[in-house]
Amino acid sequence: MDSLRLPATLSSLPGFRDHVCSAVLGLAPDVDTGMLEMALEELLVNVVNYAYPEGSGDIEVETEARGGALRIAIIDAGLAYDPTETTPPDLEAGIEDRPIGGLGVFLAKKVFASMIYRRDEDKNILELSYAPPPSAPG
Amino acid sequence: MKLNVEAIQGKVVAKVGGSMDTVAAPSFQKELETWIAKGDKAFVVDVSELEYITSAGLRSILAVAKKIKADQGTISFCGLDGMVKEVFEMSFFTQMFPIHGTLDEALGS
């Protein structure tokens, strides 16, 4: 298992992205990581924005290859927040009625094979599983 | 993110490239809002050079679209490809907005 711990700030996002992408490319060298980067960013930005309203804290991202898939854990010691409980957005609404926001977690749920949340003492632990898609031609 | 906005054939064409992420998206919204404020009503967003988008990008697009719609204006998109296309489809943005293959098609609509 590889782990990376960085401050919960937007400037940490590239480091986390590289950490996870290199783990995925170790499993599937040809995979297009765009969707994975987006999904990871959605979840990390939520932690950056909401976990530590009173000050600063860290985020830890663990990666581990398991049987062709990648297990990713996002861990913080901030306010309890379970993204799996997020209400899905109204996708059918027109421009005027469509609420702004609420798409981030929805998109992440589409990309990860599974997303399991648990609160462990004072920590949020979000366990993700990512199965690299078959490479697109070209 | 790269952003170039110009008037072409009576429409405002915003050509966006690179990444439209949490950090970059607000500047897209700000730039388009200045054109809306000037009274422009017909907008085309060319995303053929856009490689990456997150929900922050979608949020900026929707905020801009709501303003355009409130002014009885139009906004369409062209050049969707790769992960940007995938994210648009997942979010049903492809159903909310007119989507064209090329800029010429968008200008001719």
Residue A57 belongs to domain with CATH number: 3.30.565.10
Residues of A in contact with B76 (CB under 8 A): none
Low-confidence ranges of chain A (pLDDT < 50): 138
Whether the CB of B5 is below 8 Å from some CB of chain A: the reply is no
Selected residues 37-96 of chain A with any CB under 8 Å from a CB in chain B: 37-38, 41-42, 45, 89, 91-92, 94-96
**Structure confidence at residue B102 (pLDDT):** 97
8 Å CB contact between A48 and A88: no
Give domain B2-104's CATH superfamily.
Answer: STAS domain (3.30.750.24)
Taking CB atoms within 8 Å and a gap of at least 24, the contacts of A80-89 are A80/A119, A80/A124, A81/A46, A81/A47, A81/A50, A81/A51, A81/A124, A82/A117, A82/A119, A82/A124, A83/A43, A83/A46, A83/A108, A83/A115, A83/A117, A83/A126, A84/A109, A84/A115, A84/A116, A84/A117, A85/A117, A89/B91
Instruction: Find the domain containing A53 and state its range.
Output: 2-130
**Structure confidence at residue A133 (pLDDT):** 82
Selected residues 73-92 of chain B with any CB under 8 Å from a CB in chain A: 82-83, 86-87, 90-92
Considering the entire predicted model, what is its pTM?
Answer: 0.94
Per the structure, the count of domains in chain A is 1
Closest-CA distance, A121 to chain B, in angstroms, reads: 30
pLDDT tens string B63-98: 999 999 999 999 999 999 999 999 999 999 999 999
Whether the CB of B29 is below 8 Å from some CB of chain A: the reply is no
What one-character DSSP code corresponds to residue A12?
G
Per the prediction, chain B carries an average pLDDT of: 97
Measured between CB atoms, which of B55, B58, B83 is closest to A35? B83
Asked whether residue A108 is domain-assigned, the answer is yes
CB contact under 8 A, B55 and A35: no
How many contacts, defined by CB atoms under 8 Å, are there between A and B?
63
Asked whether residue A138 is domain-assigned, the answer is no
CB contact under 8 A, A38 and B63: no
CB contact under 8 A, B54 and A91: no
Among A65-69, A77-81, B29-33, B40-44, where is mean pLDDT lowest?
A65-69
**Structure confidence at residue A106 (pLDDT):** 96
